[in-house]
Chain A
Amino acid sequence: MFKNYLKMAWKVLNRRKFFTFISLFGISITLMILILATSLLENNLGKNKPVSQLDRMVFLSEVTLKKVDKDTVWTIDTSTLDGIIHYDSSFAIAENNSWTSQSSASYYMVEHYLRKLKSPVKMSMFCAEAAFDVFYQGRKIVLQGNYTDGEYWEIFDFEFLEGKPYTQTQVDNQEQVVVISEQARDEYFGKDQPAVGMEMVVESRHYKVAGVIKGVARFKYFVAADIFIPYTLFQASAFTNQEILGPFKMVFLSEKPQQRAEISSEIKSLENKIVLSNTDYNIVRLDPMTYLEHASRLIFWRENQSEGLRIMILFISGVILLFILVPTLNLINLNISRIMERSSEIGVRKAFGATRYHLMYQFIFENILLTLLGGALGLIMAMIMIKILNDSKIIPHAELTFNIRVFIYALMVSLTFGIISGFLPALKMSKMKIVDAIKNIKI
């Protein structure tokens, strides 16, 4: 039976090559784009190294200080009467926000408040906003720097090509050791040269390389850097002042993903406990965020971070839905108008006792076969595109990868695609009356 279906499907595919081409073209291009999109999303926001514990992390990267005081607020209405502009002004007492200052946390803030949080099992402090110009053998190398503590390496699981991370003891002793990225090593020491134990001069400081990590895409907030340096080597002034705002961000790890809310609310509760020595401000706002919330906030800016994430999810699913719907409708349309082609076959089969369900199964089977074929083509095209995108470096430092999860998504999408686009035409076909079907036989 199965073999028969297969044979028949193959015959149909071969019969009208142009139509087969149209169908395959639509399916394969759609699937290729979907695979590329999932691969891009997976790469940027998925749970892969070095953020495998993504769903247990809470970040604190924004601290906001505000000066809010009660003030009279003037409202001016303009109206035109006989060509003359009149101003009507009215006033109300309202909160007036006169100064806002937003940055990350200071060392003082980290040590006095954030390190004392009870709910996280692990926490780390880092400053990812450093950049260094290094001139080496007549070449300029721009290195993105990240000052971290020792625990940073326990929270983020970087893949080490050689060597190992520096420890908290080394950080406390202000040892001049660094971890560098694969790209930094290639530029500084030469491609695939061993670097561990070697010396690197950055801003006239001599660092010893402790380890080399596999490069991370530039989009990866908080972890993308070329050189990781113990935070104790940061400018000394950062450790002595008592400001609240400073250069440091924090990441907190919860025991289980569900317990992240506890950490967030504990951070939020600090807002009322922080004593402001600077009288320019009277309100502190802390915005703990998950990784996804942070990403969506950067794309769809919203005051409220969970709303940003909701909009992003809505937006992405909306786009994907629309995107699948068009080729599906297209395929349905094509299939329906092609049924007549096969009316003789349907008539004969029905006359010999095939039931409606038999015919429907057969047709849907054929359609699934077509979409799977298109899916396979799309997969090949996606792989080629990924190779091209990676080689052309259109997206800087992004290594798009193709993994089994993306493949399963693609397979699932092709199957649904096939079933949905086959169902309506199959229904229509199976309803055809024998007499009509046989009468329509063309020469």
Chain B
Amino acid sequence: MITHIFKLIWNKKEANLLIILEIFLAFFILCAVLVFVIHNLQKYNEPLGYETKNIWVANMNWAPDTDSSSIGDTKTRILQEIATMPEVEQASYCMSATMPLGGGVWTMSDRTESGLEYLTHYMEADENFAELLGLELVEGRWFDKSDEQAKYPPIIINQKLRDQLFKDTVALGQILKISDERSIIGVIKHLKYYGEFGEEPNITIIDLPIHSTREPVLLMKIRPKTEAAFEEEINRTLQQVAKDWKFTIFNLDSRRQSRSHNTWVPLIALLSVSAFLILNVALGLFGVLWQNIQKRRGEIGLRQAMGATRMNIYAQFIIEMLMVTTLGILLGLLFTIQLPLLKVINIDHQVFMLALLFSALIIYGLVILCSIYPSHQASIIQPAVALHEE
């Protein structure tokens, strides 16, 4: 049966070549779109690692002539003032340039004693940071007051960096050279620095002392259902404590949403464009098939006269279409496989395989869907009528 159908396809190679070409292109485009979509959805599925709801962030800039020795006092006074407000549950400082979703990035690279090279994002935050953001500690603890007496300044790393450096050993107590020699006291589970669609980097967090003169941001956890007008009150309070400093407040949750929005919009646009494209191909295929069956009435009549059942005719047309599709997809595979092999693009193996699989499934599904009605039309042709026409 298969060889017979193959012969039928071969006999009409010109027309079939065009269909194969079209399926090949559709497969190719679908693959490219799905790689992008699956890649992003996989990222999206990994846990963010921290809360953004009800968290407000105040950016602060010193006045140009601020005396650096007074900064620590002013920062402490700000914390005290904020603590008196019932709407604020908790407050914490984090270095502005290393704030998650903040836009700034500090990275550094070095080697461990055993010679493993690593690259890590660098953050500075105080002792309340983990609780405020709801970071999950898997090992050890967060910074506390006892760290001031420690021999080595403490650092906290994320699970990803831990797995890279200390896969089979103990991480706690290990020394890393992050500008100075520092000792690991805790490991956090996740911290997707760039938001939901970003890849989680390696992260190292350093204790941010209150008297640090690097410009921080003030994170505040606000009681749920606090009105937005409260922002002005916070701004006024901050401004009263530090008259010449400049404060701008933003909502961490809307920052996260707008970050995600920047990926969602192209994602949905791409998906809908390719959906139209595929629908277009499907309609075209449907039209071509239908027309072909009108042309092959004679053949169908003859087959039925020779004893082919309705199911035979049905199967013949669907198998014929599936074979043409397979040829198109094979051609597509031949091309797409080259991309990762020749290292033209650098994509995750698993994502690529999934994209190939889904594209093939979608195309097969559509082809079957498009051939059902025309094949049905073919199967109900009456041999007497068809042969009479001939």
- Complex contact B246–A337 (CB within 8 A): no
Tell me, in angstroms, the Cα distance from A341 to B286 when the chains sit together: 16
B284–A22 touching, CB < 8 Å: yes
Among B21, B22, B115, B285, point to the contact of A89 (Cβ < 8 A). B115
Residue of B nearest to A75 (CB): B115
Which residues between 267 and 293 of chain B lie within 8 Å of chain A, taking CB atoms? 273, 276-277, 280-281, 283-288, 291-292
**In the assembled complex, how far is the CB of residue A323 from the closest CB belonging to chain B, in whole angstroms?**
7
Q: With A133-B248, A329-B25, A330-B284 as known contacts, state yes or no: A442 contacts B291, CB within 8 Å.
A: no
- Chain A 372-394 per-residue mask, 1 if CB under 8 angstroms from chain B, else 0: 00000000000000000000001
Is the CB–CB distance between A326 and B22 below 8 Å?
yes
Nearest A residue (CB) for B18: A333
* Least CB distance, B8 to chain A, in whole angstroms: 16
Evaluate whether A337 and B280 lie within 8 angstroms (CB atoms) in the complex, with A133-B247, A395-B265 already known: no
Overall SS of chain A's interface: helix
Query: Do B291 and A340 have beta carbons less than 8 Å apart?
Result: yes
Chain B: how many interface residues by the 8 Å CB criterion?
44
A329 near B18 (CB under 8 angstroms)?
yes
Q: A133-B235, A336-B15 in contact; A33/B276 too (CB < 8 A)? A: yes
Binds B, one of A23-31, A42-50, A152-160: A23-31
The answer to whether residues A326 and B25 also contact, given A26-B283, A237-B64, A333-B18 and a CB cut-off of 8 A, is: yes
- Whether, in the assembled complex, B116 has its beta carbon less than 8 Å from a beta carbon of chain A, the answer is yes
> Which residues between 178 and 237 of chain B lie within 8 Å of chain A, taking CB atoms?
228-229, 231-232, 235
A142: chain B residues within 8 A (beta carbon)? 248
Q: Is residue A313 within 8 Å, beta carbon to beta carbon, of the partner chain?
A: no
- A131 interface residue, CB < 8 Å from B? yes
Is B29 in the interface zone, CB < 8 Å from A? yes
In the bound complex, do residue B280 and residue A334 qualify as a contact, i.e. CB atoms below 8 Å apart? no
A247 to B28 Cα, complex, angstroms: 45
Is A333 touching B19 in the complex (CB atoms < 8 A)?
Answer: yes
Residues from chain B with a CB closer than 8 A to the CB of A329 are 18, 21-22, 25
Q: Is B67 an interface residue (CB 8 A)?
A: no
Tell me, in angstroms, the Cα distance from A203 to B248 when the chains sit together.
10
Distance (whole angstroms) from the CB of B80 to the closest CB of chain A: 23
Interface contact B25-A133, CB-CB below 8 Å: no
Distance from B155 Cβ to chain A, minimum over Cβ atoms (Å): 19
Question: Of B28, B288, B295, which is in contact with the most chain A CB atoms at under 10 Å from its CB?
Answer: B288
Q: Are A333 and B22 in contact (CB under 8 A)?
A: yes
Judge whether A333 and B276 touch: CB under 8 Å.
no
B348 within 8 A of A: no
Contact of A334 among B21, B287, B295 (CB under 8 A): B287
Contact A135/B280 with A89-B115, A326-B22, A337-B287 known, Cβ cut-off 8 Å:
no
Which residue of the partner chain, among B18, B246, B276, contacts A336 with CB atoms under 8 Å?
B18
Q: Does B69 have its Cβ within 8 Å of any Cβ on chain A?
A: no
A-B contact count (CB 8 A): 105
Are A326 and B26 in contact, with the CB atoms below 8 A?
yes
Mark out the residues of chain B between 124 and 157 whose CB falls within 8 Å of any chain A CB in the assembled complex: none
Determine chain B's interface SS by DSSP, over half rule. Answer: helix
CA distance A442 to B19 in the complex (A): 26
Minimum CB–CB distance for A349 against chain B, Å:
21
Residue of A nearest to B28 (CB): A322
Cβ–Cβ contact B18 & A236, under 8 A: no
Partner of A442 from the list B248, B249, B273, B389 (CB cut-off 8 Å) is: B389
Q: In the complex, what residue of chain B is closest to A327 when comparing beta carbons?
A: B280
| Chain B CB within 8 A of A83 CB | no
Within 8 A of A (CB), among B1-49: 15, 18-19, 21-22, 25-26, 28-29
Report chain A residues within 8 Å CB of B284.
22, 26, 330-331, 333-334
Is the beta-carbon distance between B389 and A135 smaller than 8 angstroms? no
Q: At the interface, yes or no: A19 with Cβ under 8 Å from chain B? A: yes
- Report the minimal beta-carbon distance from B272 to chain A, rounded to whole angstroms: 9
B111 at the interface (CB under 8 A from A): yes
Q: Is A370 an interface residue (CB 8 A)?
A: no
Q: Are A87 and B287 in contact (CB under 8 A)?
A: no
> How close is A71's CB to chain B, nearest CB, in angstroms?
11
CB within 8 Å of A: which B239-277 residues: 246-249, 265, 273, 276-277
The distance from the CB of B65 to the nearest CB of chain A, in whole angstroms, is 7
- A76 located at the interface, meaning its Cβ lies under 8 Å from any Cβ of chain B in the complex: yes
Note all chain A residues with C-beta closer than 8 A to B286.
Answer: 22
A143 CB to closest chain B CB (Å) equals 10
Distance to closest chain B CB from A197 (angstroms): 27
Q: How far is it, in angstroms, between the C-alpha of A25 and the C-alpha of B22 when the chains are bound?
A: 17
| Interfacial residues, chain B to chain A (CB-CB below 8 A) | 15, 18-19, 21-22, 25-26, 28-29, 61, 63-65, 111, 114-117, 228-229, 231-232, 235, 246-249, 265, 273, 276-277, 280-281, 283-288, 291-292, 294-295, 389
Residues of chain A at the chain B interface (Cβ within 8 Å): 18-19, 22, 25-26, 29-30, 33, 74, 76, 87, 89, 131-133, 135, 138, 140, 142, 203, 235-238, 322-323, 325-327, 329-334, 336-338, 340-341, 394-395, 442-443
Q: Beyond the given A76-B116, A326-B281, could you list 8 further A-B residue pairs with CB under 8 A, ordered by the A residue number? A: A30-B277, A33-B273, A323-B273, A326-B26, A326-B280, A333-B19, A333-B284, A333-B288
Q: List 27 A-B contacts (CB under 8 A).
A: A22-B283, A22-B287, A29-B276, A30-B277, A74-B111, A76-B115, A89-B115, A131-B248, A133-B247, A138-B229, A236-B65, A237-B65, A322-B25, A326-B22, A326-B25, A330-B22, A331-B284, A333-B15, A334-B284, A334-B287, A334-B291, A337-B287, A337-B291, A337-B295, A338-B291, A340-B294, A395-B265
By Cβ-Cβ distance, the 6 closest A-B pairs, closest first, are A237-B64, A330-B284, A337-B291, A329-B22, A76-B115, A26-B280
